[in-house]
Amino acid sequence: MVINAIDTHCHIRYAPLETLKPIPISKIMQEGPYYTAYWNELLQMEQAAKISTVFASPMEALVDLADTVQANEDMFRLVQDIPNLYQWVVIDPRNDSTFEQADRMLKSKKCVGMKLHPRLHGYTLAEYGEKIFSFADERSAIVQMHYGREDYVGLADSFPNATFIVAHLGGALHINAVKNAKYRNIYTDTSGMDSLRNKLIEYAVSQIGSDRILFGTDTYAPGSQRGRIEYALISEQDKENILLNNAKRLFGL
Ligand SMILES: [Zn+2]
């Protein structure tokens, strides 16, 4: 049986090529000067990989602080017209307009939660965690975070109504965060290239089970990201949980 997977972690970068600004992440990923992720191309790759639903945030909101508010609005408009595309609203904790946007957008069925990228935005959760997560806690919101060496367990235990997705499963630090959250409110996702490491998916499932692992692509080769789960040495039930069931349950789809 083919599982129609849900990609919970994707990005769209929609600006015309000639106006794209080089971003640090391009250098890191050795993609050349520009990271592109045009929706029409992504959609083709997602469909080929039998991914039926995509949750995305706009790269424009992450690479250029001046554009965060505008990019959230652009994304909010885009998802209204595409049935299987959902939005993460990007928060910059130093810009209160992004909290006002989140307050409004989280009420829409097409906005699945808040997205943080402390590294690209240049702040730490030690400085702004309290502000962000008290806001999320009051709204029982789900927060997707680019992984960094932060005290996720301390924050998750202090704000039990919020759900934390520590993205880009890459090793023991992610696994321990999920394991140690007192209220089981930390998840991880398989997006990115680290989850391709030998036996990492298998090891994670052996340690924390499959209930709090979400599937994501981070825009990178959706077919290979899906294949890493599809052909892992884990049970069919675990595969279905990761590719589909956990997202359906957590996001109420
Ligand atoms: Zn991301």
pLDDT in tens, the chain (253 residues): 789 999 999 998 877 666 666 666 655 555 565 667 888 888 999 999 999 999 999 988 887 767 899 999 999 999 998 999 999 999 999 999 999 999 999 999 999 999 999 988 999 999 999 999 999 999 999 999 988 888 899 999 999 999 999 999 999 999 999 999 999 999 999 998 888 889 999 999 999 999 999 999 998 889 999 999 999 999 999 999 999 999 999 999 9
Question: 212: exposed, middle or buried (C-beta count within 10 Å: 0-12, 13-18, 19+)?
Answer: buried
Which of 157, 155, 188, 192 lies closest to 172, judged by CA? 188
Which of 136, 53, 140, 55 lies closest to 91, judged by CA? 136
How many whole angstroms from 2 Cα to the centroid of ligand 1? Answer: 26
| Conformation bin of residue 140: beta by default, left when phi > 0, alpha when psi is -120 to 50 | left
How many whole angstroms from 11 Cα to the centroid of ligand 1? Answer: 7
Query: At a CB cut-off of 8 Å and minimum separation 6, what does 228 contact?
Result: 190, 195, 196, 201
pTM: 0.93
Domain residues for 121? 5-251
Instruction: Report the number of distinct structural domains present in the chain.
Output: 1
Query: At a CB cut-off of 8 Å and minimum separation 6, what does 44 contact?
Result: none
How many whole angstroms from 42 Cα to the centroid of ligand 1? Answer: 15
How many whole angstroms from 72 Cα to the centroid of ligand 1? Answer: 14
Query: At a CB cut-off of 8 Å and minimum separation 6, what does 75 contact?
Result: 12, 56, 57, 58, 61, 87, 89
Bridge partner residues of 187 (DSSP): 165
Q: Are 104 and 92 in contact (CB under 8 A)?
A: no
Distance CA 184, CA 88 (A): 22
How many whole angstroms from 238 Cα to the centroid of ligand 1? Answer: 23
How many whole angstroms from 191 Cα to the centroid of ligand 1? Answer: 8
How many whole angstroms from 95 Cα to the centroid of ligand 1? Answer: 19
What CATH number has the domain bearing residue 86?
3.20.20.140
Question: 231: exposed, middle or buried (C-beta count within 10 Å: 0-12, 13-18, 19+)?
Answer: exposed
